[in-house]
Structure formats: C-alpha cells, structure tokens
Amino acid sequence: MKYYLICGERSGDLHSSNLIQSIKELDPEASFRGMGGDYSSNAGLELVAHYQDVSVMGFIEVLLGFRKVLKHLALIKKDLLKFKPDALILVDFGGFNMKIAAFAKSHNIKVHYYIPPKVWAWNQSRALKIKKHTDHVYSILPFEPEFYKKFGVEALYVGNPLLDEISKFEPHPFFHQKNELNYQPIIALLPGSRQQELDKMLSVMLDVVKKFPNAQFVIAGVGNLKPEAYRPAIKAGIRIVFDQTYDLLHHATAAIVTSGTATLETALFRVPQVVVYKTSWLSYFIAKSLIRVPYISLVNLIADQEVVKELIQRGFNSKNVAEELNMLLSDIQQKARVLQGYDLVKNKLGKNSSSKTTAFIIHNNFK
C-alpha cells in the first residue's frame, strides 16, 4: 500500500514516525511519502518537503508567512496527485492540512485525520468541514469524540501517543555527568521548539533563574533550532541539554513550561509545573476573542479543572512565575494537589497504544 503523510511541527513529526513504524509492522511492503521532519524521514517517509520550511504560528505570523504556505500547498497538491496514495494520513497541523483534506477529497483520495484540529477551542463550525472532507478521524484527547458527535463526526479515541513515547523511555544512567550538572535540585525550563516561542518566552524564564540561587535551572533544548537561538541562555551561564527532554523531566523537581504538548509530557512525568505563554499582542487579542475554552494547557483541558497554573501574556512575568514556582517547591499541599490532578489526567488517557491502534484501523480499511 502507498501512504502519503503530512505533519507540520516537531511533535506531529514524532507521532507521524511512530505511526509509520506501526503501519510497517502490518504492511512490510508499504511505501511512504509526504511532508514531515527528521523523525518521519528516519522512519521511512520520503520527504517532499520539511515542515520547518512552512511551519508558522500565531495569527499575524501566519499572514506574514502566507506566501511560503501557498507555495508548499501547491507543491504538496501536485505531488499528491502524482504519487496516487491508497491513503492520505494527515497529522495535526490543522490550517494547512484541512486545505489538503478538501483537495484530496475532491480527487477521491481517502483522507485519514490522525490528531484532528482543535476545533473545540475556537470556530467550532470547522467541525462541519472535517465531516465533509475526511473519511476517518482518530482523536488523541479523550473528550474530543463527544464534541465531534454533535456535528455528526465519528471520531475514535485511539489513546494518546505520549503514553507510547514515555513507555519506551529509559533514563540515561549518567545524565548528570554527561551534561556536567551538579546535584542541586533541577528546575526544568521548556521554552518551546520554535524560534518564535524562544523569542517570546526565554528572556522571562531567564529572569526567574536569578530569584532561585539554590536551584539548578536547565533548559530543554531542541536540535532542530540553530544554536544561536539559545544565545541569551548561554550568555547567562544556564545549562542547556539538547534533545534530552525526558531525561531532564525524569530528574526535575519542578518545571516552567511553554503551553503545548510539553505540558502533558511534564504531567506524565509527575513534575509540578507552571504553564506559561506569550505571543504578539495582536495575535493574543484575536485569539482571546475567538477561544471558547477556559484553559490553554492540555493538562487542565483533559482534567476539566485547573490542575496547573497558567500565566498568559501580561500574566507571564518573572514575578508571577517566581511566586508560583516557589509555591510548588515549598507548599507540600499544593504539590500534592497538582500530583492528584496528574493522576486524574492519566486515568482519563487510558492505556491504548495510539499509533498501533490507528495503524490497525487504517490497514484494516483495505482488507
């Protein structure tokens, strides 16, 4: 069978690579082509384009990057028709992938959406477009199927892919020595995996460091960004460990985390965290007028209650972050409440292997 996959960011690339591996177990002769990143490429995806060439975030940033988005849309559409896949598998990356879904559907290509757009957060009528332009929807958030049902979409909850990733994780036995760390308590800083995120988040995080002289702050760096992206941290003497996020979380006492997939990863490692986020003022203004959910972090959304503190936009400043972090470090009851919330989240996620479950369903559609 021939599969065409499209993802548009680091986490989607990771989930795409695991799905490819799971499909291979069922279909050893399968061929894969599409847009992704290094993870997917290493798993066997023939790259037509790298997601880094098209990935942008924020309303205004998307407008400014519209030309390159259009260029890649045209490239992928042309290549999709040339490859003639048995299945198109879209992985997250809603704005781009929904346009591809409509195009594919109009050319009678079966559309499978793994990790569908978060339409429940804003502009919920987009669920009708998902119904119109997709054949199968595979959800990784336990509350999504009930939402989609209102719009006549049969979304299947297949489990969360982070559970698969974390179950495979084995701590490095010499993490401290390998990264020249001492044995002071570690506070993990997760500023994000995009340049735009680092530009907004890192400076405030570094200001917080000065307020905790007895702790050891370590940044979870990502290798897909250029080293100069971390120059402010290097100048400040803050240790950066690249592509070792799970090892860092395994050893961390607490964390400051940019909202996104990393908040759920941090929760699954049972590390008390402060969730932070900041974007351009205009993007924030537009988002605030559109967002229809009470939280931004996956932890709170899944729990359907405030488990972790969210500091957004103006609320994200070194004073507020330091106060919340100090509470997590010194208030035993507050830490216990957070960990109890994490248990609730994990129970709601269940135990399914999302990539294996999704691969099985997709493969069985061709029997």
Split at pLDDT 50, 70, 90, the class of 64 is very low
Asked if 2-159+352-364 and 168-349 have one fold, the answer is yes
Spatial separation of the C-alpha atoms in residues 88 and 249, rounded to whole Å: 35
What are 343-360's pLDDT values in tens digits? Answer: 999 999 999 999 999 999
User: What is the predicted pLDDT for the residue at 68?
Assistant: 77
Q: Which residues of 191-208 are buried (b: 16+ CB within 10 A; e: fewer)?
A: bbbbbbbbebbbebbbeb
What are 295-309's pLDDT values in tens digits? Answer: 999 999 999 999 999
Q: What pTM, to 2 d.p., does this model score?
A: 0.86
Query: Which H or E element spans position 367?
Result: none
Beta bridge partners of 156: 138
Taking the CA of residue 183 as centre, how many other CA atoms within 13 Å lie in the half-sphere pointing to its CB? Answer: 1
Spatial separation of the C-alpha atoms in residues 172 and 175, rounded to whole Å: 5
Class of domain 168-349: alpha beta
Domain boundary assignment for the chain: 2-159+352-364, 168-349
User: What is the predicted pLDDT for the residue at 291?
Assistant: 63
Identify the DSSP state of 293: S
Residues of the chain with pLDDT > 90, as a percent, come to: 78
Domain boundaries 2-159+352-364, corresponding CATH code: 3.40.50.2000
What are 233-284's pLDDT values in tens digits? Answer: 999 999 999 999 999 999 999 999 999 899 999 999 999 999 999 876 656 5
CA distance readout (Å), 289 to 94, 200, 285, 293, 304 = 19, 21, 6, 11, 21
Residues of the chain with pLDDT > 70, as a percent, come to: 93
